[in-house]
Structure formats: structure tokens, C-alpha cells
Amino acid sequence: MKPSLVFIALLLAITAFSGSTQKQTFLKWELGYSKSASETPSKWIPATVPGAVQLDIAKADKYEPFYYAEHWKDYLWMEDQFYTYRTKFDAPEKATGESVFFVSKGIDYEFKVFLNGAEIWHQEGMFTPVNLNLSDKLKPTNELKVLVYPVPKKHPLPADRSQAANVAKPAVSYGWDWHPRLVPLGIWDETYLEIRQASHVDDFHMNYALNKDFSEAEIDLQISGQNLKTQAFRWTLQDKEGKEVLRSDGKTQLTLTKPKLWWTHDHGEPYLYTSTLQLLNDQGQAFQTLVSKIGFRRVKLVMNEGAWGDPEGFPKSRSVPPAQLEINGRKIFCKGTNWVNPEIFPGIMNRERYNQLLSLAVEANFNILRVWGGGIVNKESFFELCDEKGILVWQEFPLACNNYPDDAHYLSILKQESASIINRVKKHPSLAFWSGGNELFNSWSGMTDQSLPLRLLNRQCLELDPNSPFIPTSPLMGMAHGNYVFRDLQTKEEVFSSMARARYTAYTEFGMPAPASVEVLKTIIPKEELWPPKPGTSWESHHAYKAWVGNTWLCQDIIEDYFGVSNSLEELVANGQLMQGEGYKCIYEEARRQKPYCAMAINWCYDEPWPTAANNSLLSYPAIPKPGFYAVKNACRPVLASAKFSKFKWTEGETFFADIWMLSDLPKDVSAGKVTIKIRTGTSEMTLLNWEFNAMKANTNQSGPTVRCKLPAWKTDRFKVILEVEGHPEYKSEYTLAYQPRSVERVRTTPVMNQ
């Protein structure tokens, strides 16, 4: 067991396992607050752990829900209090040599721990687990307290994200264009007492390297813990059927031949093995068992095809950096979405909530999630589910849109937090690559390659997880970032036109706003404010107005420019949601047409942390698909017929045209076939062309003809373009475009055409 016994100097770096035989006791907590650290709270209320102090107070004192109307403002005072969690417990029974540990997987953000009145720990950082041996200080009955400091703020004003510029705490909580100002505090992940043997494992990592042709995995078992030196262990690896495929009785270096590889769900099977590590006593009996899921894959970021050609001629300079993901030697096109905190208070996130969202991500044909640096690094169950479902995770560190400083204190916290994050997450095959954070190289942040926090993160990733790629931030040169509207607010250029002009290695944040459904709107906006929407009402604090730049996110003027003044909330919502879907389809499909130079299409954003009135998200809170979700799902199918349009609105008598393609990201060949292209209104249908396309090699597209027709006189404000593929209903695509009859009189058809 000696060769690879790693002594991890960082006391706190223990990690969660899928299963462990150590005995855990969950405690009952109370919460109080006060104006200073020294003052004792005058009142105690029940605390939910894990959770957030705000939720406990709201429950105890019967606050209106923060998501309704303007009630989030009632919670603002809670930022500046000191919070004390307390619990009483009897000293647990334990055998000789055993110890009692206080374990918390996460406390947000700076805190002290007191046992029976004495301070035993002080920490800054919510991602580094707490792991305190209480044994020496235990009495028959004990009081444990956790004192949580107020929300850290770089400066008292302005009350915006820049207050988070010197902490490793998600900046989103300080306010964003789709997130109210609500900054969580408190115990936010699993917390308990645990009995541990004198000899025990704190952390286990099965490191491996795949050889060139993936026929062998060289395995290195990395075990760290207490008093392990003379301890024997047994380790086994079982396949999905439970068959043991590898076993070690004390050796740390092993070879697995013909490992079954882990793939994303669209490229193969997300194959997981079961790893079981057992510490053995002198009689060979196991007294600690750690069970976890293991996947074998190799991830690389390589240059996009054709990118070495930029720039041509002199003066020469570097090309755009790699944005092509390669999994197990295969270049894959990444289709996905930007994941944001699904809750304002992530402490209440659990496996069920994650599962709800991740099951929908698979349904949407997504193979990657960019976990945006404005939010948290998710809990373990998130990664476990991504492993199982075959979804890749582009994981950012919690830095976003700020100039994080070259400051010794901040760097030391970042070093600690990043080590905890990396050592936990690197065990998951779903990890695609690391990113230093969101938009750090942009002018509004002001960080550069020279910024020490980013150089430190690169170093940390290289040191702790050298086999995973690292990018300092996103976007990088060559990646498109934005736009976030159907047509540009200044130039009025539509997404159809700007995408046709664009040539990027990856589209990593593009948005299309849509209002929430009427049902959702009714749960957040008081009845009297619902119609018509107006700035200065709950519409505004739920991001329909002045949320980002200009008149976002409702964009009523743009919607009505195409379809005329809305007569009802229902009509406005339906038209806005239709445009979100058509806009998103345009981008996803055009990005796919630009393959292989382009390798990623990742929209902004997937979910939202509370119900917004309007947002770029595909899901309303908590996980309600907007119509745009289904549009995107269709655009991300492995194989589909696709049409490229030059604009959204067409006029009677004008010659309509569209370029026809067959798109395939399938890892298998597609046989030849026939696409029939039609246009249709409520009352009429015309076939424009039959295109017989050739057989397609795996993972390649085929460009087809341009279809044209002079648009007839219709009494409608929209029409559909339909692409049917003979014998393959699953390849069929439909698009809705706006239509302008010559008559000045406004024509309205029923707007619900985008199911």
C-alpha cells in the first residue's frame, strides 16, 4: 500500500463517497441571529440543515414567498446579520480507538465552530468541507455552535456583483439580470457527526491513464487518510453486471485490459464500473468500505478543424485556441446549455431536483452543460447523475464578471477552495474541462492572462487533475458569446442574418428571450399588474424590463413589430415564446452547419433560480419547459432535415427562399433519402421541391439545394416551412416564419402554432 499513499497536507480535503460504512448521526439545529459576533441571539428558531438562514427565518416568521411581487426586498436586511446555528448532543458511544468527527460538506461563507463554548475552527470558503475531530473535547452532553458571518462585501455600495470581487462566493447572488439580490448564508450541504476508526481513509481516488488505442487502463489507487501505513486493504472493480473485473490485495498499481469506455449518451453508453475499497483489520475483516462509480474516458480540447489557417499571411500571429472537444479520440459536436443555480438558495438542492433537470437535458439531446462561473459548484449528486446519464460538464470556478485581485489573502482562499473543488469533481467521468470563470477577459471584468488568480487556477488544475483540459475563462478568442436577443437592439439585425455572417469555433452563450407562460406569471405578478405589462411593477423586478441592456427581457416592441400589437397577455406570451423557439433553432442549426470549424452550440441559459417574467431560459422555475425547449430539442436531434433562412418576416409576392441541409452528429452513417420541402398556412399547402440526398458518413452534414417560390396572397400573419424525410418521421423539421399580406389591414391567425 505504500507506493501511492498520498499524504494530503490540506487537513480538510475529505470527500464524499457514494457509500461508506462509517456511522453518521444527523443533528437537530436551531438558528439565531444578532448584530455582532459577540452578541448572543435573543431568539432561537428551528433550522433546516442543509438550507439557508433566510429560509429558516422566512418559515419561522411567516414571510411572504420571496418570489411573489416585490417580497424579495423583505429579505435584504438578512445580509448583514451574524448567524448562530446551535445543537445539543450526547457524546456518542464509541469503541476504543474510535473518534467522533464533526463533518460538514459546506458552510456558506465565513464561519467559526465552537464546541462547549470554545472556538475550535475558523474558515473562509463554502466549498471546503469541515472535518473536525471532537473526541478530546467531548463531555457527556455537548453544545456545538456554528457562527456564520454576514455576507462578505468588498464595499458597501454599489450593491451589485462587484461586492463579490474578492471572495470565492458565487457573484450571482449579489444580483444579475435574471436573479434578484438575495445572498445565501448558512449550512448548505450535508452535515453530521461521524464515528471513525483510528485508522481510516479520508480520500480515495482511482487515477488512471488510458493507452493510445484505449485497450488498457493503467490504474493508480490514491488513498489518503489516518494511520494507514501498516493497514491492509482490498479493492475491487465490478462491471455493470456486478462481475469482478479487477482486484487488488494491497497493490496500488494495476492494469485493466479492454476497459469499457464511458461515452456521452448520444455517442455510446455512459458505462460505469463500481469501485469498492475496503480497509481490513488483522483478521482480514473489512471495517471501512468505500463504494463509488468509475468511468474510463479520455477528454481533450484540440484545435478546431481549419483553425490553424487563421490568420493567413503576414503578420503571423497565434490562431484561435482549441474549442473542439475530443472524447475517447472522437471529435464530438457539443450541444448543450448554460446551467445556472436552479435555486436562489442552493442549500435546498437535492438529488430529486437535479434529476428532474438533468432528465430534461437528456430529453433535449444535450450532451454538455456549461456550469457557469457566476454560480455554485454543484453538490455530489449532480455529478453522479451526469455520470449516469452521459452528460459532460464544463465546470467553471466561482469567478464571474469581476476583476478578482492579485491579493495574497484572496489567492490563499482561492487555492484552498479550488483544491477542494478539483479533488472532488475530478473523480467524475462527466467532467469535460475546467474554466477559470465567466467573462473574466472581457472589458467589464478587466482580468488578463497575467492575473494571478487565473494563473493559480491553471496551476491547481495541472497539479491535481493534469488529464483534464483547462481554459482560463470563457469566452476565449474565437468563441462567440452572445447575442441575447432575436434582433440586435441597436442595429436591428436579426439572428438569421448575424448567424449567417458568423464564423466561430464555438457558440457558448447565445440567448433568445421569452416571457414565462401565463400560468407562471400569475404566481409571481399580482393580478392588477398582469396586463398590460409595465416597467416599475413586479414585471420589472422579475426581469421583464431593464434587466440587461435596453428593453430586455420581455422585448414587447420586437415581438409586436413582427406580429402587431397584442390583444391579450396570452397572445403576447405565445408570440414571444414562438420567437424564442425559432431564434434558438436558427442558432443551433446554423452552428451545426458550421461544423467542423464550429464544435459547440451552448445557449444561454437552461434553467432559472426563481420564476422570471421573461428570460433567455428554456425552463421556467423550477423545471417547466417553455415551448422553446421543444424547439431546441428538435434542433439538437442527432439527425434532422434543416432549413436556413435569411430573415424572419416575408411579404406577399416576394420570392421566398431557403437553403436545405441534412445535419448529422450521429456516430454512424446515414443512408440516402429524400426530403420534401413544403410551405403551409392554416388553409393552404405547397410542395416546393423533393431533394434526394446522398448517403452520409458518420458525423457529417450534407448541404442541399436552395428552394424558392413567390409567396402567394394569404390571410395570415405567419406560415410554416416543413421538411419531411421519406420513411424517417424522426428527421422531420418545421419552422414558423412571419408573413405580411399586401393589404394594410392586420391579419391575425391563432398564434399557438409552435407546439
Please identify, among the stretches 215-223, 251-259, 473-481, 637-645, the one whose residues bind its own copies according to the rule CB under 8 A.
Answer: 473-481
Q: List the grid coordinates of 476.
A: 476565449
Gyration radius from the chain CA atoms: 28
3-class secondary structure for 347-410? HHCCHHHHHHHHHHHHHCCCCEEEECCCCCCCCHHHHHHHHHHCCEEEEECCCECCCCCCCHHH
Question: Closest CB to its own copies among 22 and 552?
Answer: 552
Question: Judged by CB, which is closer to its own copies: 94, or 331?
Answer: 331
Q: C-alpha grid cell for residue 550?
A: 435596453
**Which residue among 70, 488, 652, 659 contacts its own copies (CB under 8 A)?**
488
Q: What is the Cα–Cα distance from 633 to 631, expressed in whole angstroms?
A: 5
- The span from the CA of 65 to the CA of 54, in Å, is 11
Question: Contact, 602 vs 438, CB < 8 A?
Answer: no
Stretch of residues binding its own copies (CB under 8 A), selected from 6-14, 479-487, 522-530, 560-568: 479-487
The least CB distance from residue 77 to its own copies, in Å, is 36
The 214-243 site mask, x for binding its own copies (CB under 8 A), equals ------------------------------
Helix, strand, or coil (residue 228): coil
Nearer to its own copies by Cβ, of 253 and 690: the residue is 253
Comparison of 446 and 712: residue with beta carbon closer to its own copies = 446
Establish if 40 lies at the interface with its own copies (CB under 8 A).
no
Among 60, 348, 452, 666, binds its own copies (CB under 8 A): 452
Read off the amino acid at residue 575: N
Q: Where are the beta strands (DSSP E) in 406-505?
A: 431-435, 470-471, 479-481
Greatest Cα pair distance in the chain = 92
Map the footprint of its own copies across residues 509-568, applying CB under 8 A: 510
In angstroms, rounded to a whole number, what is the distance separating the alpha carbons of residues 256 and 247? 10
Q: Which stretch binds its own copies (CB under 8 A): 6-14, 481-489, 708-716, 717-725?
A: 481-489
Q: Give 454 or 525: the residue with its C-beta nearer to its own copies.
A: 454
Beta carbon nearer to its own copies, 458 or 676:
458
Distances (CA, A) of 455 to 411, 439, 459, 461, 747: 10, 16, 6, 10, 59
Among 368, 399, 476, 601, binds its own copies (CB under 8 A): 476
The CB-of-311 to its own copies minimum distance in angstroms stands at 10
Return the C-alpha cell found at 516. Answer: 414565462
Q: In the beta sheet, which residues pair with residue 510? A: 603
Residues 293-352 that bind its own copies (CB under 8 A): 300-303, 308-309, 314-319, 321-322
**Tally of CB atoms within 10 A around 703:** 14
List 39, 74, 218, 449, residue binding its own copies (CB under 8 A): 449
Q: Taking CB under 8 A as the rule, does residue 3 contact its own copies? A: no
Among 58, 360, 368, 471, binds its own copies (CB under 8 A): 471
Q: How far is the CB of 497 from its own copies (least distance, A)?
A: 13
Residue 481 or 592: the one with the smaller Cβ distance to its own copies is 481
Applying CB under 8 A, among 483, 541, 575, 642 the residue interacting with its own copies is 483
Q: Shortest gap between Cβ of 588 and its own copies (angstroms)?
A: 15
Cα-flanking dihedrals φ and ψ of residue 163, to 5°?
A: -65, -20
Between 313 and 729, CB nearer to its own copies = 313
Nearest-CA neighbor of 484 among 555, 536, 435, 539? Answer: 555
Q: Which of 504, 510, 499, 498 is nearest to 605 (CA)?
A: 510
How many binding residues for its own copies (CB under 8 A)?
A: 49
Using CB under 8 A as the binding rule, whether residue 475 contacts its own copies is answered as: yes
CA-wise closest residue to 507 among 630, 442, 590, 426: 590
Binding site residues, its own copies, CB under 8 A: 300-303, 308-309, 314-319, 321-322, 441-443, 446, 448-450, 452, 455-456, 458-459, 462-463, 466, 469-473, 475-483, 488, 498, 502, 504, 507, 510
